[in-house]
Amino acid sequence: MSATIIEFDRVNKVFPGHHAVRDLSFGIRRGEIVSIVGVTGCGKSTTFNLILGLFPPTDGTVRVQDHDPHSEFDWFRRRIAVVFQDARLLPWRTAVQNVKVGMKFAGIPKEHWDARARDWLSRLGLAGREDAYPHQLSGGQRQRVSLARAFAVDPEIILCDESFSALDEITATALRAEFVELVRANGKTGVVITHSLGEALTLGERILVMRPPGHLADDVAVPADPSPEELETLRERVLTAMTPEAPDSPGPVENTQKGAV
Amino acid sequence: MATTTVSTSPKPGSGHGAAGPVAERPSPWRRFRDPSLPILVAVLLGIWALTSRFTAEYTVPTIPSVAQEMWSILTSWESLRNLLTTLARVGVGLAAAFAVGLALGLAMGASSAAARYLLPLIRFVQGIPSLSWVIIAVIWFADVELRVWFVMVLVTLPGFALQTYDSYRAIPAELRDMARSFRPGRWALFREITLPAITPGVFTAWKVNLGLGIRMVLIAELVGATVGVGAQLLSAQQLFDMASVVSWTLLLAVCMLIIQGVVELLESWVLRYRPRVGLPSEASGRAATSVAAPRVEG
């Protein structure tokens, strides 16, 4: 099995009148937590949708677990789960039912639903709130249900699309830490799309910096326990790379196929 | 499934205590404790009693004569059969219109090509006067039951179809994308997203069409039916028997209210997930969410 779980090779995506992604190449290894960061309109969401297989690239190759996520869309059932910016819970389902629905959609046998759903809600601190409807939960609680729904499917890859950006800072910080812990403890690969540099530095072991028009500007490795000075250096480097008029970072893009810089 | 070491202690945002316990919904019978309804009925009865004292029996019948007539209808199987037949016609007609309207609405929602062809047709049918359908039915069909059924279906079907179509279109794209990210099968998607999302609209269509159906069935029964409330009303009109007219009308209206009440009870049970209108969300104190769309917030 290849160590590279997600691979973009000179990918272009062109929408009518808009070149969303241009010659994008990178690789993400199994077990990594990678943040994709960039300013609005830099192609993050298009990249996210390409990984998810919602549409094909115009040119180039997208491989996820050595499969084409678009043409082999159904193959990825139970292999990819998504945590969206808003929790996207079904308002007619309780918390536990919402987690079960994810498993139902993913084709997990029914006998596993209840125990697994309650287990994940409990792990995410929602024991006792299983039977609450979404409107009876706070924003943080709803996002916890959304995380439980994603993890309960037991996917290999978890994609987060600005999943923590709509929460208050205390809740978001706690959830980010839990997310990282859960991804590591369960051997998943995490890909986090974000426009927040702070979030990218907190979450990712590696940061892919994107810049309009949809290409990779830098590929930054984040040390396990960075010192304040290292963090500041990283912050400046990423900020510079994010800035549209900055030159692309020399070299790292090539290296991403093998690992982080 | 892999295990994890994450603790289950309360965490920021998990909000133990942040969101209160699930509040009990108000009793559906609360309306009957409201004194305004008996007061209104008493006032109307008073006006009726007063008016009937100064008018002829065939214009405004007295309350006792109407009560007596109603009692005789309710205690005579032959009379009661007329009422039940009319209600059965309403039920059968609405059920057929619902089945066809739901299928058309879903087809239009799922396929823009279907919507392009069906939507103008349904809107055209909706614009045809009910009386025209009655006349067409009389010319086309010799069988009375078929006439009534035909008229009922044609008049109420557009409501079901359009309401289903609108509800389908109102399903938030975010929910569809969420579901799609799990790669669901068609049936699971329909059962978990489409069906619950269109249910409020379907209930609305039923409540509107119940009233329309009751009104339409009487018109249809006036032409050719020998059994049914419409036929009895026609007979009473020919005899200038106003007490009978009022009795049949009141009985049908009361039946209608009871059926509407049952539908509303069923609706409040099926849609029990909805926050109560006008009350803030329990968790955050913010305004209640809409029925179909989940709140997008943090």
Contact residues, chain A, for B294 at CB < 8 Å? 86-91, 134
User: In this structure, are residues A136 and B282 in contact, taking their beta carbons and an 8 Å threshold?
Assistant: yes
* Residue A38 token pair: 């960039």
Contact residues, chain B, for A187 at CB < 8 Å? 2
The pLDDT value recorded for residue B284 is: 46
Residue type, A135: H
The pLDDT value recorded for residue B26 is: 59
Q: Which residue has the tokens 């409040």?
A: B268
A29-67 tens-digit pLDDT: 999 999 999 888 888 889 999 999 989 999 999 999 999
From the number of C-beta atoms within 10 Å of its C-beta (0-12, 13-18, 19+), residue B68 rates as middle
CB nearest A171 (choices: B12, B16, B185): B12
Per residue, the 3-state secondary structure of A232-249, as one string, reads: HHHHHHHHHHHCCCCCCC
The pLDDT value recorded for residue B157 is: 96
Question: In which order are the strands placed within the sheet that holds A189-194?
Answer: A80-83, A157-161, A189-194, A33-38, A206-211, A215-221
Reading chain B (298 residues) residue by residue, the pLDDT tens digits are 443 434 444 555 555 444 444 445 556 566 667 788 889 999 999 999 999 998 888 889 999 999 999 999 999 998 899 999 999 999 999 999 999 999 999 999 999 999 999 999 999 999 999 989 999 999 999 898 999 999 999 999 999 999 999 999 999 999 998 999 999 999 999 999 999 999 999 999 999 999 999 888 988 888 778 899 999 999 999 989 999 999 999 999 999 999 999 999 999 999 999 887 655 555 544 433 333 333 323 2
The pLDDT value recorded for residue A34 is: 94
B6 vs A: CB within 8 A: yes
CB contact under 8 A, B13 and A187: no
Rounded to the nearest angstrom, the minimum Cα separation between A73 and chain B is: 7
Residue type, A109: P
Q: How many CA atoms, within 13 angstroms, populate the side-chain half-sphere of residue B110?
A: 13
Pairwise CA distance, residues B248 & B79, whole Å: 10
B292 vs A: CB within 8 A: yes
Confidence of residue A224 (pLDDT cuts 50, 70, 90): confident
CB contact under 8 A, B183 and A76: yes
Minimal-distance CA residue of chain B relative to A172? B13
A124-168 tens-digit pLDDT: 889 999 999 999 999 889 999 999 999 999 999 999 998 888 788
**Window B:196-255, CB contacts with A under 8 Å:** 196, 199
Nearest alpha carbon to residue B194 among B101, B295, B107: B107
Pairwise CA distance, residues A171 & B15, whole Å: 10
Listed in sequence order, the residues at least 6 apart from A20 whose beta carbon sits closer than 8 Å to its beta carbon are A13, A14, A43, A46, A213, A214
B15 vs A: CB within 8 A: yes
Pairwise CA distance, residues B190 & B196, whole Å: 9
The pLDDT value recorded for residue A202 is: 84
B291 vs A: CB within 8 A: yes
Question: What pairing do the DSSP bridges indicate for beta strands A4-15 and A80-83?
Answer: unpaired
* Residue A213 token pair: 């028009």
* DSSP H or E segment with residue A256: none
Contact residues, chain A, for B22 at CB < 8 Å? 131-133, 136
**Window A:179-208, CB contacts with B under 8 Å:** 181-182, 185-187
* DSSP H or E segment with residue B164: helix B144-169
Question: How many interface pairs between A and B have CB atoms less than 8 angstroms apart?
Answer: 177
CB nearest A52 (choices: B181, B196, B289): B181
Contact residues, chain B, for A174 at CB < 8 Å? 11-13
**In whole angstroms, what separates CA B296 from the centre of its chain?**
31
Contact residues, chain A, for B271 at CB < 8 Å? 92
What residue segments make up the domains of chain A, in order of their start? 1-79+155-261, 92-152
Residue B197 sits at the vertex; the CA angle it makes with B106 and B123, to the nearest 5 degrees, is 40
Listed in sequence order, the residues at least 6 apart from B279 whose beta carbon sits closer than 8 Å to its beta carbon are B288
Can you tell me the ipTM of this complex? Answer: 0.83
B277 vs A: CB within 8 A: no
Q: Is the pLDDT of residue A196 over 80?
A: yes
Pairwise CA distance, residues A80 & B188, whole Å: 18
* Residue B52 token pair: 């009937």
Pairwise CA distance, residues B243 & B237, whole Å: 10
Pairwise CA distance, residues B182 & A31, whole Å: 21
Q: Is the pLDDT of residue A255 over 80?
A: no
Rounded to the nearest angstrom, the minimum Cα separation between A208 and chain B is: 23
Mutation target for A interface from B178, B186, B269, B289: give the one with most A CBs within 10 A. Answer: B178
The dihedral sign for the CA sequence A244, A249, A250, A251: negative
Pairwise CA distance, residues A31 & A215, whole Å: 24
User: In this structure, are residues A141 and B19 in contact, taking their beta carbons and an 8 Å threshold?
Assistant: yes
Pairwise CA distance, residues A134 & A136, whole Å: 5
Mutation target for B interface from A50, A73, A111, A135: give the one with most B CBs within 10 A. Answer: A135
Residue type, A203: L
CB contact under 8 A, A106 and B184: yes
* Residue B144 token pair: 């009375």
A177 vs B: CB within 8 A: no
Q: Concatenate the DSSP letters of all residues of A146-204 into one string.
A: HHHHHHHT--SEEEEESTTTTS-HHHHHHHHHHHHHHHHHTT-EEEEEES-HHHHHHH-
Between B242-270 and B63-75, two packed helices, what is the crossing angle to 10 degrees? 70
CATH code assigned to A1-79+155-261 = 3.40.50.300
Q: Mean pLDDT for chain A? A: 87
Mutation target for B interface from A74, A90, A92: give the one with most B CBs within 10 A. Answer: A92
CB contact under 8 A, B283 and A168: no
CB nearest A167 (choices: B9, B284, B298): B298
CA distances to A4, B52, B185, B245 from B43, rounded to whole Å, are: 81, 14, 58, 22
A171 vs B: CB within 8 A: yes
CA distances to A44, B44, B78, B83, B235 from B232, rounded to whole Å, are: 71, 25, 11, 9, 5
Residue type, B80: L
B179 vs A: CB within 8 A: yes
Rounded to the nearest angstrom, the minimum Cα separation between A87 and chain B is: 8
Confidence of residue A223 (pLDDT cuts 50, 70, 90): confident
The pLDDT value recorded for residue A114 is: 95
Q: How many CA atoms, within 13 angstroms, populate the side-chain half-sphere of residue B294?
A: 32
CA distances to B48, B118, B174 from B55, rounded to whole Å, are: 11, 53, 64
Residue B34 sits at the vertex; the CA angle it makes with B33 and B35, to the nearest 5 degrees, is 110
* A73-99 average pLDDT score: 93
Contact residues, chain B, for A88 at CB < 8 Å? 174-175, 177-178, 294
Contact residues, chain B, for A81 at CB < 8 Å? 181-182
B18 vs A: CB within 8 A: yes
The pLDDT value recorded for residue A247 is: 62
Minimal-distance CA residue of chain A relative to B184? A105
Rounded to the nearest angstrom, the minimum Cα separation between A115 and chain B is: 12
The pLDDT value recorded for residue B277 is: 64
CB contact under 8 A, B14 and A80: no
User: In this structure, are residues A76 and A69 in contact, taking their beta carbons and an 8 Å threshold?
Assistant: yes
Q: What's the pTM value of the predicted model, to 2 decimals?
A: 0.79
User: In this structure, are residues B294 and A134 in contact, taking their beta carbons and an 8 Å threshold?
Assistant: yes
A77 vs B: CB within 8 A: yes
